[in-house]
A and B are shown apart, each in its own frame.
Chain A
Amino acid sequence: MKLSDILKQFKTIQPDADYSRRSRAEILLSPQNERRTMRGVFAFLHIIETGAAVALVAFFILMVTRGFSPTRSVAPMQYAVIDPVGLHAEAQAIDMQIQLADIVYPQVTSTATATPAASAALTKAFATVLKASKASSSAAVASSTMAASTSAPAASTTSLSVDQALQQLTQ
């Protein structure tokens, strides 16, 4: 006889009917309150667990994509506020003003020492520019400048525009 056929005979085993009835009734009458409370607690813990897992994964992704740099990862907002292009442009503009000032003053001194006529013209132009920009203090500055250049034959205090002054300078 095949062993599998003998084993199949065990399937005819049945529990006692009285026992089954009693057991069923006892089980179904058992209290359920604790079960529901615990289900709520486990559901809450499950939500916390899921949230923590998502946050951890997001943190690691951030660390990987930003190259593990603590300064970049911890304080990204500080860098976001600063516009490096704007800063660079501003810095360049400041440098240009300084360069222009450096160019002007040597020219004035060199022309003043070279020819008296050109020096007088330059003095006139400089005085005019000062008048236009500084209303109150320009008079004193201009007079002192004029006093310094009284030796020039063509010296006068006629007002000129900036363009005219520059034109005279080129002449």
Chain B
Amino acid sequence: MIDGEEQLIRSAVGGDSSAFGSLYDRYQPAIYRFIVVKVGSREEAEDITHHVFLSAWANVGSYKHRGHPFSSWLYQIARNMVIDHYRAKHDDISLDKLDPDSSIIPSVEHVDVAMKMRLEKVSAAIAELKPDYQDVIILRFVEDLPLKEVAAILKKSEGAIKLAQHRAIKELKKKLGDESLEE
């Protein structure tokens, strides 16, 4: 846990809005990234991220520290919100259906055009993966979270996460069809 986070959480649980504001500043970018890579649209990601933190603020009073970081709780809310979003939408994500103006790639900073094109391709491939594989790839390789924390967020064992990680990467490489990529 980050220094001072425990005190911030305690204050937020007690209803201190400024403490929750600090937690928002700390975790909102990561939660937004997690959502935007999954849904592949900036506008939708902004809307879902807003609802995630709205729900977190409404329910922070019932939050109980169970030895996992506060972010684990936020990631769980985000996962559920994305699932609800897809249920409501009843729509498949594909490159053809994506609005080019809403693509996530312009928000990737400090990269050249070639890399942006590659990221676009990878982003589309991730969107075609199973939700569990998407979660493992984003949390393990984008956010660089430890196995233990990913296991806590996805409510699975560390062994199951290792296996899912291996299968997800294999599946992603297959979808990209690029043999030059190393694992």
Contact A10 B119 (CB under 8 A): yes
Tell me which residues from 35 to 60 in chain A have a Cβ below 8 Å from any Cβ of chain B.
35-36, 39, 42
Tell me which residues from 13 to 31 in chain A have a Cβ below 8 Å from any Cβ of chain B.
13-16, 19-20, 23-24, 26-28, 30
Contact A7 B141 (CB under 8 A): yes
How near does chain A come to B108, taking the closest CB pair, in angstroms? 5
A16 / chain B contacts, CB cutoff of 8 Å: 42, 46, 107
B57 / chain A contacts, CB cutoff of 8 Å: 27-28, 30
B24: Cβ under 8 A from any A Cβ? yes
How near does chain B come to A36, taking the closest CB pair, in angstroms? 7
B77 / chain A contacts, CB cutoff of 8 Å: none
Question: How many Å lie between the Cα of A3 and that of B142 in the bound state?
Answer: 11
A11 and B142 in contact, given A2-B182, A30-B54, A39-B61 (Cβ under 8 angstroms): yes
Chain B contributes a number of interface residues (CB within 8 A of A) equal to 50
- Quick one: which of B54, B110, B144, B172 contacts A12, CB cutoff 8 A? B110
Could you mark each residue 55-90 of chain A with 1 if its beta carbon is under 8 Å from any beta carbon of chain B, else 0? 000000000000000000000000000000000000
B181: Cβ under 8 A from any A Cβ? yes
A24 and B24 in contact, given A11-B33, A12-B111 (Cβ under 8 angstroms): yes
B173: Cβ under 8 A from any A Cβ? yes
